[in-house]
Amino acid sequence: MRALTWHATKDVRVIDVPDARILQPSDAVIRVTSAAICGSDLHLYDVFGPFLHRGDILGHETMGVVEAVGADVRRVAVGDRVVVPFVISCGSCYMCARGLTTQCETTQNREHGTGAALYGYTELYGQVPGGQAEYLRVRRVDANAIVVGNELPDERYLFLSDILPTAWQGFRYANVPAGGSIAVLGLGPVGQLVTRIARHHGVTVHAVDPVVERRLMAERYGATVYDLDREAGNEAGDEPDEHHAAGEGHDHDRDDVIGRRGRSELAELIRDATDGRGPDAVIDAVGLEAHGSPGTAFAQAAVGVLPDALAKPLMKRAGVDRLAALHFAIDLVRRGGTVSVSGVYAGNVDPMPMMTIFDKQITMRFGQCNVQHWVPELLPLAEGPADVLGLEDLVTHRVPLDRAPEMYEKFRDKEDGCIKVMLKP
């Protein structure tokens, strides 16, 4: 079968690999009908090389049709159309019973001190072959697969694998009061869905991103959108353009960052729109590779080219993230508010403004998404005739699997209006 495989930092290839097959009686094999490239896949493309092995199959947003099942499978049958959550859980342990499937005690990776096994996401999470492929071995299929109908297009269902429940959890963790307000930092696919979920709940959304196409998409769903100041302008001492807040008039060949002055002016704009206090919650949908931390970006890149024996302990014990977005969220949120973090972070020595967090009495919530816990709430929305979350209006690029390497680069560089990529094996 053909699959998208990792070979080195910024080097992924579609090659022939051994066919997926049943290895355990609780397995199934699906023929993949759609897979997607996730923003967190870009961390593998750029940063997590020391924990990847040449030939690892990537991808954790997958759906398809069941081709074969193991002897112990009871709930899922050949011919079923299924979505595969990125988290592999047992469904019955202490953690799973509490809805914390990402902490599953059966599939935890104790060797690395990490949580449940994940598809296509490094040796830290089990080195499980991922779903950007023609076929996928689905582990513990009865406990995990989401069986769906045959009438609606894949776009209605595929995002149940990760980004839709990730956005839903981020919003739920934000604990926004009725009629309240949020700021969303980062308008990639998760940020887009957070915006739509919040508007569906009647919450005012202030959404921040440097990319015009992303801002325009969020604006269509009722967000007030804001551009970011540019580092080049900050260093040159230029006065901010009056169109910055509205998201107009930028040179998109310039590096986009949350500069110090940009953060301050943007915070004032959003505070002015929220009775001078700041939003009730801020959702960080950016994560460890946020723009605006050039020194940390250099350190991440430098560690990535070290031999694995040196890089692995450095990343696990002394890793650092680019924290511009998270620090901005802490500054922006109102006193007594919540910062909900959906973006992936991986550093263990990140500096945090603990005095500000304590003084402002901020609640902070983090974590991988417990996909299986949220599916019962989300499936009716995904299948509803009105498509209230606009799931058929998120994918910007639909391409054959063989074009996946090209799309990783395009997605990373935010070129050609690329917001969400669907791969069709």
Q: Say if residues 186 and 328 touch (Cβ distance below 8 Å).
A: no
159 has pLDDT over 70: yes
Averaged pLDDT for residues 305-314: 50
Instruction: Give the model confidence (pLDDT) of 111-120 as tens digits.
Output: 999 999 999 9
Q: How confident is the model at residue 345 (pLDDT cuts 50, 70, 90)?
A: confident
Beta bridge partners of 206: 183, 224
Q: Say if residues 124 and 315 touch (Cβ distance below 8 Å).
A: no
Instruction: Give the model confidence (pLDDT) of 36-46 as tens digits.
Output: 999 999 989 98
| Range among 299-308, 345-354, 416-425 with highest mean pLDDT value | 416-425
Instruction: Name the more confident of 86 and 348.
Output: 86
What's the confidence (pLDDT) of residue 229? 53
Instruction: Give the model confidence (pLDDT) of 364-422 as tens digits.
Output: 999 999 999 999 999 999 999 999 999 999 999 999 999 999 999 999 999 999 999 99
CA–CA distance, 292 with 119 (Å, rounded to integer): 30
Beta bridge partners of 422: 36, 398
Q: Which domains can be identified in the chain, with CATH numbers? A: 2-162+369-424 (3.90.180.10), 164-365 (3.40.50.720)
Beta bridge partners of 72: none
Averaged pLDDT for residues 51-66: 96
Averaged pLDDT for residues 336-342: 96
- In percent, how much of the chain has pLDDT > 90? 77
Averaged pLDDT for residues 98-102: 98
What's the confidence (pLDDT) of residue 145? 98
261 has pLDDT over 60: no
CA–CA distance, 104 with 101 (Å, rounded to integer): 5
